């Protein structure tokens, strides 16, 4: 049985279709990323998984239990860290953790051990007595995560836990998630940072309420079918204008002093020499560039939009 | 613009600091930072929370007096000419820039007023900006009704309304969809092609990849300054996130 199973999930708010037919599953013990920009529908899907919203259509099973019928049982096995976590700013770190332990009815005799464990991986131990309101952004997120983990849930759902957190704290946060996963917890985490896809075992690329692509990050990148090159030039803006006008070019993007260009076919050496001559020596070097998840995302969006307009 | 013009232009120094330092009591927020930023450059400012980025930016914007060291912005001294500096910089943040409950036209007029432009100039630049962003049909609509991509373009336009030579962008494209993000970076490249200098502060290492050069601060000190390509090469990492973590955790 999968940890989470979603079939043809739809949800609208008035005339806004937030999620438009999503099917996916999260396996047991998997670290799964929901990657997409703001407004893609990530939060709606996560809230529905946590039984906080009912589907308009389709179904969601959490550990085999249906979210529309078994909400109470699902809540006891699920940890949820919402986007805006309401930590009690005027309670200390330890008081916040104890409050959540009360809420989830964690037996008194188990508490000490769990708190120690959470302090150990979050490294919040030295800050037990500090008010939550006085913690840094990264530490607040770690405390929020610890609160969501107090009842050792089998499944953990996190809504943009690394939003606004600095890169070092972000890295630490992902390291913690991997530790939790090793203990067998399934983790579903959303993020708008494309580069965080590489931290997950599998990802769903979410755009306008739909999944544009799903799979392991490396597998998604391997499926990218436009050979991508990094080009350098004396005048990179002029080079861009030139490459934009070529029929073989699928896309161009300036990156500082360099240009990334993707092609419909891998260019051969004859083409490179022609282009070098045609740009009057402006093109100085070119090398294959591995695609990022963002490149993959853009190509998938373009394809799905082409399919949509064909369907109409 | 020819290649030689471009090279000539990039040599012009737009922002320069030497041993710039700021203390708060016993705490040194910025510790002897020396940078030179060229005209027409996109310069990235990276650092963990509390590394001193904000203090650095506030000094460069003329909002905070340094404790020691020297600096000039657009040719003006940061100690003695902070008012002149304020008139020559623009600022935009992705999270907050425009008032959602004002119309597009009102937002532009508001910024024009804040930057002290004459009514005639505001009218002229407002029309130009609305045309440039392609919002002719929406000038009297509330800003909240605009798609995010348009809002961003408009926000950058407002930050440039008084034609400043230097503009500061704070996480300009975090959370935006990749298509809109790349479109917005095209606009930033167009802005620097006009000879303006763009500072980008960000936590978002993808944004760092778009900068011409990036600086990384740790505990108030400047610990790295180079192009993203050279930094990746030097530290043997394939992306800026890994470079950053390696450097800051060292």
Q: Percentage of chain A surpassing pLDDT 90?
A: 70
Model pLDDT for residues B84-115, shown as the tens digit of each residue: 999 999 998 766 678 999 999 999 999 999 88
Domain boundaries, chain A: 4-222, 228-290
Nearest by CB to residue B177, choosing from A37, A193, A253, is A37
d(CA B248, CA B18): 23
d(CA B129, CA B90): 15
Question: What is the DSSP code string of A4-22?
Answer: EEEEEEEEEETTEEEEEEE
> Which is nearest to B195 in space by CA: B35, B8, B60?
B8
User: Nearest-CA distance from B121 to chain A in Å?
Assistant: 31
> Which is nearest to A42 in space by CA: A203, A152, A195?
A203
- In the predicted model, what is the mean pLDDT of residues A49-75? 96
Lookup: tokens for A97: 């953790």
Provide the pLDDT confidence category of residue A164 given band limits of 50, 70 and 90. Answer: confident
The residues with which A160 forms a beta bridge, in sequence order, are none
Lookup: tokens for A96: 């916040």
Are A171 and B241 within 8 A, CB to CB?
A: yes
Nearest by CB to residue B206, choosing from A166, A194, A237, is A194
* Per-chain mean pLDDT for chain A: 92
Are A255 and B210 within 8 A, CB to CB?
A: yes
Does the CB of A231 have a partner CB in chain B at under 8 Å? no
- Does residue B1 carry a pLDDT above 70? no
Phi and psi at B164, nearest 5°, equal -75, 150
- In the predicted model, what is the mean pLDDT of residues B45-60? 89
Query: Comparing A169 with A95, which gets the higher pLDDT?
Result: A95
Does the CB of A38 have a partner CB in chain B at under 8 Å? yes
Strand-pair category, A16-26 with A4-13: antiparallel
Chain A hits for B193, Cβ within 8 Å: 237
Domain boundaries, chain B: 3-88+165-249, 99-163
- Does residue B174 carry a pLDDT above 80? no
Helix (H, G, I), strand (E, B) or coil at A33: strand
User: What does DSSP assign to residue B194?
Assistant: T
Check residue B211 and give its pLDDT. Answer: 95
Model pLDDT for residues B21-44, shown as the tens digit of each residue: 999 999 999 999 999 999 999 999
d(CA B32, CA B18): 7
d(CA B8, CA B22): 33
Chain B hits for A258, Cβ within 8 Å: 229
- Does residue A287 carry a pLDDT above 90? yes
Lookup: tokens for B78: 């940061």
d(CA B32, CA B35): 10
* Count of A-B CB contacts under 8 Å: 94
- For residue A120, CA distances in Å to A124, A126, A127, A309, B49 come to 7, 10, 12, 53, 22
Are B228 and A165 within 8 A, CB to CB?
A: no
What is the CATH code for B3-88+165-249?
3.40.50.300
- Contact in structure between B150 and B97 (CB atoms under 8 Å): no
3-state secondary structure A98-149: HHHHHHCCCCHHHHHHHHHHHHHHHCCHHHCCCEHHHCCHHHHHHHHHHHHC
**Residues of chain A numbered 190-209 and touching chain B (CB < 8 Å):** 192-195, 207
Instruction: For helices B148-159 and B104-114, give the axis angle rounded to 10 degrees.
Output: 20
Does the CB of A297 have a partner CB in chain B at under 8 Å? yes
> Which is nearest to A197 in space by CA: A185, A206, A208, A209?
A206
Kindly report the CA angle at B235 between B232 and B238, in degrees rounded to 5?
Answer: 40
Least confident of A35-49, A85-99, A203-217: A85-99
Check residue B6 and give its pLDDT. Answer: 52
- Contact in structure between B26 and B197 (CB atoms under 8 Å): no
> Which is nearest to B180 in space by CA: B169, B168, B188, B170?
B188
- In the predicted model, what is the mean pLDDT of residues B229-235? 94
Query: Comparing A285 with B150, which gets the higher pLDDT?
Result: A285
Nearest by CB to residue A167, choosing from B2, B148, B203, is B203
**Residues of chain B numbered 78-107 and touching chain A (CB < 8 Å):** none
Check residue B4 and give its pLDDT. Answer: 47
Helix (H, G, I), strand (E, B) or coil at A32: strand
d(CA B224, CA B46): 10
Looking at domain A4-222, its CATH superfamily turns out to be P-loop containing nucleotide triphosphate hydrolases (3.40.50.300)
Are B175 and A192 within 8 A, CB to CB?
A: yes
User: What does DSSP assign to residue B103?
Assistant: B
Provide the pLDDT confidence category of residue B2 given band limits of 50, 70 and 90. Answer: very low
Phi and psi at B102, nearest 5°, equal -105, 155
**Residues of chain A numbered 90-129 and touching chain B (CB < 8 Å):** none
- Contact in structure between B250 and B81 (CB atoms under 8 Å): no
- Tokens 């610990």 correspond to what residue? B223
Model pLDDT for residues A93-135, shown as the tens digit of each residue: 999 999 999 988 899 888 998 899 889 888 899 999 999 999 8
Strand-pair category, A283-288 with A249-255: unpaired
Does the CB of B200 have a partner CB in chain A at under 8 Å? no
Are B206 and A168 within 8 A, CB to CB?
A: no
Pick the residue of A256, A279, A285 with the most B CBs within 10 A to test the interface with B by mutation: A256
Q: Which CATH architecture has domain A228-290?
A: 2-Layer Sandwich (3.30)
ipTM above 0.85, yes or no: no
Model pLDDT for residues B127-167, shown as the tens digit of each residue: 999 988 888 888 999 999 888 788 888 999 999 999 999 99
Pick the residue of B8, B152, B177, B250 with the most A CBs within 10 A to test the interface with A by mutation: B177
Are A166 and B48 within 8 A, CB to CB?
A: yes
Are A38 and B248 within 8 A, CB to CB?
A: no
Check residue A256 and give its pLDDT. Answer: 87
């Amino acid at each position: 049985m999968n940890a989470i199973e979603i079939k043809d999930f739809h949800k609208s708010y008035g005339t806004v279709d937030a999620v438009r037919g999503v099917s996916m599953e999260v396996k047991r013990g998997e670290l799964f990323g929901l990657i997409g920009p703001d407004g893609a529908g990530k939060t709606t899907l996560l809230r529905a998984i946590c039984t906080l919203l009912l589907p308009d259509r389709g179904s969601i099973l959490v550990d085999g239990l249906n979210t529309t019928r078994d909400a109470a049982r699902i809540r006891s096995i699920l940890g949820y860290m919402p986007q805006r976590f309401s930590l009690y700013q005027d309670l200390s770190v330890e008081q916040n953790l104890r409050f959540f332990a009360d809420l989830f009815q964690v037996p008194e005799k188990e508490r000490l051990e769990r708190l120690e464990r959470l302090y150990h991986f979050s490294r919040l131990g030295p800050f037990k007595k500090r008010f939550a309101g006085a913690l840094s952004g990264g530490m607040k997120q770690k405390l929020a995560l610890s609160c969501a983990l107090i009842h050792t849930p089998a499944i953990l759902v996190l809504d943009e836990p690394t939003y606004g957190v600095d890169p070092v704290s972000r890295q630490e946060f992902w390291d913690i998630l991997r530790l939790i996963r090793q203990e067998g917890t399934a983790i579903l985490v959303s993020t708008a940072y494309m580069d965080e896809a590489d931290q997950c075992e599998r990802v769903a690329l979410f755009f306008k309420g739909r999944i544009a692509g799903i799979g392991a990050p490396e597998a998604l990148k391997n499926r990218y079918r436009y050979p991508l090159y990094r080009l350098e030039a004396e005048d990179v803006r002029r080079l861009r204008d030139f490459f934009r006008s070529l029929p073989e070019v699928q896309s161009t993007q300036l990156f500082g002093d360099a240009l990334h260009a993707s092609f419909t076919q891998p260019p051969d050496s004859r083409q490179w020499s022609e282009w070098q001559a045609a740009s009057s020596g402006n093109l100085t070097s070119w090398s294959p560039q591995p695609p990022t998840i963002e490149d993959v995302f853009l190509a998938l969006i373009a394809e799905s939009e082409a399919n949509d307009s064909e369907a109409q | 613009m020819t290649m030689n013009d471009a090279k000539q232009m990039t040599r012009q120094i737009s922002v320069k600091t030497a041993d710039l330092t700021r203390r708060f009591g016993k705490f040194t927020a910025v510790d002897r930072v020396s940078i030179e930023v060229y005209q027409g450059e996109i310069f990235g400012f990276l650092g963990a929370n509390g590394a001193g980025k904000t203090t650095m930016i506030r000094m460069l914007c003329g909002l905070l007096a340094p404790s020691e060291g020297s600096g000039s912005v657009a040719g003006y001294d940061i100690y003695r000419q902070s008012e002149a500096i304020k008139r020559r910089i623009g600022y935009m943040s992705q999270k907050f820039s425009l008032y959602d409950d004002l119309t597009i036209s009102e937002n532009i007029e508001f910024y024009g007023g804040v930057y002290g432009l004459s009514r005639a100039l505001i009218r002229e630049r407002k029309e130009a900006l609305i045309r440039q962003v392609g919002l002719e049909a929406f000038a009297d609509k509330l800003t909240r009704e605009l798609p995010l991509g348009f809002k961003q373009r408009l926000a950058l336009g407002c930050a440039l309304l008084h034609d400043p030579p230097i503009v500061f962008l704070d996480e300009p494209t975090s959370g935006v969809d990749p298509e809109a993000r790349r479109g917005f970076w095209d606009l930033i490249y167009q802005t620097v092609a006009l000879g303006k200098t763009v500072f980008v502060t960000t936590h978002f290492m993808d944004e760092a990849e778009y900068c011409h050069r990036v600086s990384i601060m740790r505990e108030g000190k400047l610990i790295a300054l180079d192009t993203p390509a050279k930094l990746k090469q030097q530290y043997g990492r394939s992306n800026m996130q890994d470079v950053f973590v390696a450097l800051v955790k060292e």
